[in-house]
Amino acid sequence: MRWRLTAFNASNIEAQAVALAAPILAGADASLAQASARVQGVSLSYACNPLAAQASEAAAARDAYLALMRYEGQTLCVHPFQEGVGDGSGLYRYLSAPNAAARLAAKLTDAQDAGRPRGLLDAVAVLIVARDLAGFAERLAAFNAVFPTPELQLAQRRAAQLATLEQEKFILPDAPLTPPWTARDGIQVHHLAQHGRAVGAQLATAQGYASETPSPIAELQAVIARKRQRLKELQSHYDQLKGQLTGQAGYALYAQGDASAVAAQLQAPGAPGHEYVLTAGALFVAGTGQLTFLKETFGL
């Protein structure tokens, strides 16, 4: 084969595609007129859905449930990589479980903190604990999957990166030769994309007539089938979310009272010990009675 001079022309495939759609599009107007006449001749009868009364009760229950999930409160997070919180230096820092609980308690009673919570409080505290970086990143990921918190997401990424560094710091990868291969697609060319959209619009419109059915019964059956499928998807999604709320990511505590009382309960005996050298803590506080949803979520 030799190099030869070339010019740009519309392809035969494009012309054949347009020719295929042309007679269908030409008859579209008459088909729409006939469809309108058929619709005018259809008699409609309505039946009362027996589930309507129960549906109104479900709407009230949904509003009550959403009200239970909403609360106006504050969240405090601690983790080893915060300046002045964790122990150690450089990349590797540590924070044991008792020290994390002590820092949460200290922030509750910090006289210099103008934004600290005041009055009678409900509080839910969670300690995510681990003995190594890989386990710490894994447990933080489990917590963040349900309660995504920017501070703990940062700690999760840091722990995962340090764990990877420990495993791969002695691996020296080889670089590929240059120049690199680059993926290209004809649809990325501007003029070809314009032709493709124009032809595609005609073919899509023509194809739409192939899916029409003169039977309203068949269309209603299709709607019923889609609704059944939607109900199955809703149940499956709910079961999946319930699965995310099971399992163990750490230790949780529910406390009530003013800031000093909550701080004292955070440091009461029974908390995990210093054997957990990597700990992240999350403290949710709000007015009395507003953390019912979180309390039940953590099984407190």
Could you tell me if residue 88 is left (phi over 0), alpha (psi between -120 and 50 degrees) or otherwise beta?
left
Q: What is the extent of the structural domain holding 133?
A: 73-167+242-297
Under the banding of pLDDT at 50, 70 and 90, the label for residue 273 is: confident
Top-confidence residue, 161 or 34: 161
Q: Are 174 and 155 in contact (CB under 8 A)?
A: no
**pLDDT tens for each residue of 161-209:** 888 887 777 777 777 787 888 877 777 777 777 777 887 787 777 777 6
User: Can you tell me the distance from the alpha carbon of 31 to that of 81, in angstroms, rounded to the nearest whole number?
Assistant: 69
Residue 68 within a domain = no
Residue 89 lies in a domain: yes
Alpha-carbon Rg for the chain, nearest whole angstrom, is: 32
Q: How far apart are CA 216 and CA 221, in angstroms?
A: 9
Tokens 């983790």 -> residue = 79
DSSP secondary structure letter of residue 90: T
pLDDT in tens, 42-54: 665 555 566 666 6
Predicted confidence (pLDDT) per residue in 84-132, tens digit? 887 877 778 888 888 888 888 888 888 787 777 788 888 888 888 888 8
Residue 41 included in any domain = no
Residue 139 main-chain phi, psi, to 5 deg: -75, -35
Instruction: Establish if 144 belongs to a structural domain.
Output: yes
Task: Determine contact, residues 14/199, Cβ cutoff 8 Å.
Answer: yes
Q: Give the whole-angstrom CA distance, residue 79 versus residue 86.
A: 7
Total number of domains in the chain:
1
Looking at the domain assignment, is residue 43 inside a domain?
Answer: no
Say if CB 156 and CB 140 are below 8 A apart: yes
CA–CA dist 278, 79 (Å, integer): 8
Average predicted confidence (pLDDT) for the chain: 76
202 located within any domain: no
Q: Is residue 217 assigned to a domain?
A: no
Phi/psi of residue 240, nearest 5 degrees: -65, -45
Residue 9 has pLDDT above 60, yes or no: no
